[in-house]
């Protein structure tokens, strides 16, 4: 494992983006020596990992696995972080669906982003990092949340005029952060890491 291996004590879960039963094609070992491998997306921080799987397990795309801590792993034998460009084409094409599912499954966490987003600088607000959110929509969100916190994506759409599909806006931003690791501001990807 390399120096960018993950560590820590919190249980970190990930969703399988691609499962390669015969291992990675470019790791230089003969086919008979390769263990199943694949790519996963960590569910809390949206970090991407290349992983090796236990040979006795058969997984499908969308399965959830534990990647950390090591002693809680049952299926993953190795995990190290990768960039979007390192993903297989299958993992890249699956990513949008998995991110959309994660946002939907943990709706309150992402609704709370709209409730809790703060200014980054005097001229830039976290809400302005979201695709399609300009000054008018930002101010609409801020005004409405002062009255009462939002409780669902549906309520956000109803209360903020012009804000359509607030969940899809978040998915789009998360994908943008995953695809472009040179973005100045990362709001969702690697958030836990930034806080430490």
pLDDT tens-digit map of 80-122: 999 999 999 999 999 999 999 999 999 999 999 999 999 999 8
pLDDT at 127: 96
State the CB neighbour count (10 A cutoff) for residue 88: 18
- In this prediction, residue 5 has a pLDDT band, given cuts at 50, 70 and 90, of very low
**With 90 as the cut, is the pLDDT of residue 35 above it?**
no
Per DSSP, the three-state class of 80 is strand
pLDDT tens-digit map of 140-196: 999 999 999 999 999 999 999 999 999 999 999 999 999 997 888 988 998 655 444
pLDDT tens-digit map of 67-76: 988 888 888 9
**With 60 as the cut, is the pLDDT of residue 4 above it?**
no
How far apart CA 113 and CA 122 sit, in angstroms, is 19
CATH number of 106-180: 1.10.150.280
Domain ranges of the chain: 12-87, 106-180
pTM of the shown model: 0.86
Contacts of 27 (CB under 8 A, 6+ apart): 34, 37
Burial class (CB in 10 A: 0-12, 13-18, 19+), 162: exposed
Q: Tell the residue number behind the tokens 């694949």, with chain if given.
A: 38
CATH entry, 12-87, from 2.40.480.10, 2.40.50.140, 3.30.470.20, 3.40.30.10:
2.40.50.140
pLDDT at 183: 84
pLDDT at 96: 96
Q: What is the three-state SS of 97-140?
A: HHHHHHHHHCHHHHHHHHHHCCECCCCCEHHHHCCCCCHHHHHH
- Indicate the helix (H) or strand (E) that contains 155: helix 153-159
pLDDT at 194: 47
**Over the chain, what is the mean pLDDT?**
87
pLDDT at 3: 33
Fold agreement (12-87, 106-180): no
């Amino acid at each position: 494992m390399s120096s960018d291996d993950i560590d820590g004590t919190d249980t970190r879960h990930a969703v399988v983006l691609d499962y390669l039963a015969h291992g990675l094609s470019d790791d230089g070992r003969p086919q008979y020596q390769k263990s199943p491998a694949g790519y996963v997306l960590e569910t809390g921080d949206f970090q991407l990992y290349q992983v090796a799987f236990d040979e006795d397990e058969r997984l499908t795309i969308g399965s959830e696995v534990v990647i950390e801590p090591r002693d809680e792993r049952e299926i993953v034998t190795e995990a190290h972080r990768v960039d979007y460009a390192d993903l297989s084409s299958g993992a890249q094409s699956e990513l949008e669906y998995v991110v959309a599912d994660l946002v939907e499954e943990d709706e309150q966490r992402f609704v709370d982003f709209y409730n809790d987003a703060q200014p980054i600088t005097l001229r830039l607000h976290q809400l302005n990092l979201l695709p399609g959110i300009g000054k008018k929509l930002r101010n609409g969100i801020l005004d409405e949340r002062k009255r009462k916190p939002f409780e669902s994506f549906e309520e956000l759409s109803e209360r903020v005029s012009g804000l359509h599909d607030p969940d899809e806006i978040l998915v789009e931003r998360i994908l943008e952060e995953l695809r472009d690791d040179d973005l100045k501001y990362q709001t969702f990807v690697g958030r836990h890491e930034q806080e430490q």
